[in-house]
A and B are shown apart, each in its own frame.
Chain A
Amino acid sequence: MDLSVKLPGLDLKNPVIPASGCAGYGRELAELYDLSRLGGIAIKSATPKERFGNPTPRIAETPMGMLNAIGLQNHGVDYIIKNELPFLAKYDTCVLANVAGAAEEDYIEVIEKMNDEPVISAFELNISCPNVKHGGIGLGTDPELAAHITRMAKAAAKKPVYVKLTPNVTSIVDIARAVEAAGADGLVMINTLLGMRIDLKSGQPVLANNTGGLSGPAIKPVAVRAVWQCAQAVSIPIIGVGGIARAEDVLEFLLAGADAVEVGAMNFVDPYICVRIIDDLERVLSKYGYTSVRDVIERRKLK
């Protein structure tokens, strides 16, 4: 069955992409399976300079999901270009470079440095991380700021720019419309939901950062709803993400209006999850009467 799908800059052999922050730069998953099996890989956020991230504990379990407060830990864009991208160049898969920062200049610096890297297929603008004090979600919760950073990124980028949206807003549709108008080539949604857990023995938050981003199957209905709302409001493609755990979930996101998907927290539960989903996708599409991924996209009718 033809599982391929074409999005700006992303000629995906199948619609399954491990989400940023859940697969590092691919080295660990490559010990378990051939990364060329993947439609693409969204690599861990790059910032201009190295970031250690937040103090630990950074992880807390929740019902059907987890909280994380990693805090965009990375070695900085120069290190990533020199030491991580050459590894990914060995594989036949699309690379989505997640770009983050504390201020507008940070995003531009990372984009300009990565612009001429042939291994990168497209940029994923992270204006939705809930775990950093500056930048991140602050830029993604205001339509005007989101549009501004998108416009700046588009002006700097030589590759398509996808904007990753946060669900921690009153109207995600307003943000989606604003970044579309600012020239975004596509949307990635949703980033994590802001959450918290408190340890009963200590009476204190489990996470050192107090709050963290909720991910996993617990947030899937929120993500499906957000994709469905935005798909009706914008005409740029949407990469759906949030709690995907099986091939049926991929079909649900496609029906909601996504053209591809990212798989996040489930990589921590089953490190083979992406290839298992890819292997099962044909069976699931056939079961529900579809002949290809494109067939779903062409025939879906959102009420």
Chain B
Amino acid sequence: MKTEMALITENRQIAADTWKMVLKTTIASETGCGQFVQVQVPGYFLRRPISVCRVLDEEHLVLIYKVVGDGTARMAEMSAGESVDLFGPLGHGFPIEDRDVLLIGGGVGVPPLLETAARHIKAGHHVTAVLGFNDASGIILEQQFRELGCDVYTATMDGSAGTKGTVMDAIRQNDINEEYVLSCGPLPMLKAVSNAYQKGYVSLEARMACGMGACMGCVVKDNDGESLRVCKDGPVFAIGKVVL
């Protein structure tokens, strides 16, 4: 965990409202799957927490982010050759357990699952990925999961690609019977995943300030009523641990 000026080597749109930024930074060497970084966007006060999509090597990270407001819009305007102030790696990511895994991702929750897939495949495990999007124009990383060797299934809410409906519909339609799940995506999806599976982990998103556990801005409650910080105790939590 440190701050560093990272060099942008690539920053381009890859799908509707979705951008890919590649950064040259030594933070890459410390980053695990499911962790995130805080990006200082010029002209904006608070850093933007962005999950790490891929650790390319010891000094290159890939971030995939959605333009949701003024800050991320400004981030999308940055060019290769510019530097950006990065803080990370932050939080607890996905564990690599000695078993095959079903990855369930939704929208901009898909990116951190790519590095997670890569590490499981490298460890010799079979990886099934079910990826959900609103429509075909929002589909990202499908091909990259295939190239890693994952079995990939896609769902879109409007049926413009893959199964029409949610990731849960795609899992039913394709008779996917894996028991152990790692998931990241919108809250309704995480709730559905937590209802359907007992074993595995979900990664949460939250508005945060410090990103390192000091400010208590991003807390959630566990089932005993104890508070947990999404940024520091998470963003990845065991299924059933946190009240969603």
Q: Which of B40, B209, B220, B227 contacts A66 (CB 8 A)?
A: B209
* Residue in chain B with minimal CB distance to A61: B46
A268 in contact with B219 given A28-B214, A62-B45, A64-B45 (CB within 8 Å): no
* Residue in chain B with minimal CB distance to A270: B3
* B218 engages A59 (CB within 8 Å): yes
The verdict on B56 contacting chain A, using a C-beta distance below 8 Å, is: no
Q: Which of A28, A62, A68 has the most CB of B within 10 A?
A: A28
Which residues of the other chain, B, contact A194 by a CB distance below 8 angstroms? Answer: none
* B212 engages A58 (CB within 8 Å): no
The verdict on A234 contacting chain B, using a C-beta distance below 8 Å, is: no
Q: How far is the CA of A57 from the CA of B208 in the complex (A)?
A: 9
- In the assembled complex, how far is the CB of residue B82 from the closest CB belonging to chain A, in whole angstroms? 19
Q: Which of B46, B208, B216, B225 contacts A53 (CB 8 A)?
A: B216
The verdict on B92 contacting chain A, using a C-beta distance below 8 Å, is: no
* B47 engages A269 (CB within 8 Å): yes
The verdict on B213 contacting chain A, using a C-beta distance below 8 Å, is: yes
* Residue in chain B with minimal CB distance to A63: B45
* A216 engages B45 (CB within 8 Å): yes
What per-residue 1/0 map shows which CB atoms of B191-218 lie under 8 Å from chain A? 0000000000000001111111111111
The verdict on B240 contacting chain A, using a C-beta distance below 8 Å, is: no
* B2 engages A268 (CB within 8 Å): no
The verdict on B126 contacting chain A, using a C-beta distance below 8 Å, is: no
- In the assembled complex, how far is the CB of residue B243 from the closest CB belonging to chain A, in whole angstroms? 12
* A271 engages B212 (CB within 8 Å): yes
Q: Which of A22, A32, A60, A216 contacts B215 (CB 8 A)?
A: A22
Q: How far is the CA of A53 from the CA of B2 in the complex (A)?
A: 29
Q: Which residues of B208-240 are within 8 A (CB) of A?
A: 208-221, 225, 227, 232
* A66 engages B213 (CB within 8 Å): no
Which residues of the other chain, B, contact A269 by a CB distance below 8 angstroms? Answer: 40, 45-47
Q: Which of A52, A63, A270 contacts B221 (CB 8 A)?
A: A52
Which residues of the other chain, A, contact B220 by a CB distance below 8 angstroms? Answer: 56
Which residues of the other chain, A, contact B211 by a CB distance below 8 angstroms? Answer: 268
Q: How far is the CA of A29 from the CA of B209 in the complex (A)?
A: 14
The verdict on B145 contacting chain A, using a C-beta distance below 8 Å, is: no
- In the assembled complex, how far is the CB of residue B1 from the closest CB belonging to chain A, in whole angstroms? 6
Q: Which residues of A1-32 are within 8 A (CB) of B?
A: 21-24, 27-29, 31-32
The verdict on B71 contacting chain A, using a C-beta distance below 8 Å, is: yes
What per-residue 1/0 map shows which CB atoms of A53-88 lie under 8 Å from chain B? 100111111111110101001000000000000000
Q: Which of B3, B40, B44, B215 contacts A61 (CB 8 A)?
A: B44
Q: Which of B2, B47, B71, B232 contacts A28 (CB 8 A)?
A: B232
Q: How far is the CA of A300 from the CA of B5 in the complex (A)?
A: 38
What per-residue 1/0 map shows which CB atoms of A170-189 lie under 8 Å from chain B? 00000000000000000000
* B219 engages A53 (CB within 8 Å): yes
The verdict on B87 contacting chain A, using a C-beta distance below 8 Å, is: yes
Which residues of the other chain, A, contact B44 by a CB distance below 8 angstroms? Answer: 61
A61 in contact with B232 given A267-B210, A268-B209 (CB within 8 Å): no
Q: How far is the CA of A28 from the CA of B215 in the complex (A)?
A: 10
Q: Which residues of A251-303 are within 8 A (CB) of B?
A: 265, 267-272
Which residues of the other chain, B, contact A65 by a CB distance below 8 angstroms? Answer: 45
* Residue in chain B with minimal CB distance to A70: B216
* Residue in chain B with minimal CB distance to A207: B207
- In the assembled complex, how far is the CB of residue B69 from the closest CB belonging to chain A, in whole angstroms? 9
A68 in contact with B215 given A56-B207, A271-B3 (CB within 8 Å): yes
* B218 engages A56 (CB within 8 Å): yes
* Residue in chain A with minimal CB distance to B210: A268
Q: How far is the CA of A250 from the CA of B138 in the complex (A)?
A: 48
- In the assembled complex, how far is the CB of residue B239 from the closest CB belonging to chain A, in whole angstroms? 21
- In the assembled complex, how far is the CB of residue A20 from the closest CB belonging to chain B, in whole angstroms? 11
Q: How far is the CA of A53 from the CA of B214 in the complex (A)?
A: 15
- In the assembled complex, how far is the CB of residue A274 from the closest CB belonging to chain B, in whole angstroms? 12
Give 5 A-B pairs besides A56-B218, A271-B210 with Cβ atoms closer than 8 angstroms.
Answer: A22-B210, A24-B213, A28-B212, A44-B216, A59-B209
> 5 closest pairs, A vs B, by CB?
A59-B217, A24-B214, A268-B209, A268-B210, A28-B214
Contact residues of B with A, CB < 8 Å?
1-3, 40, 44-47, 71, 87, 206-221, 225, 227, 232
Contact residues of A with B, CB < 8 Å?
21-24, 27-29, 31-32, 44, 52-53, 56-66, 68, 70, 73, 216-217, 265, 267-272
What are 17 of the A-B contact pairs (CB < 8 Å)? A28-B210, A32-B2, A56-B217, A56-B218, A58-B207, A59-B46, A59-B209, A59-B215, A61-B46, A62-B45, A68-B215, A68-B217, A70-B216, A268-B209, A269-B46, A270-B3, A271-B210
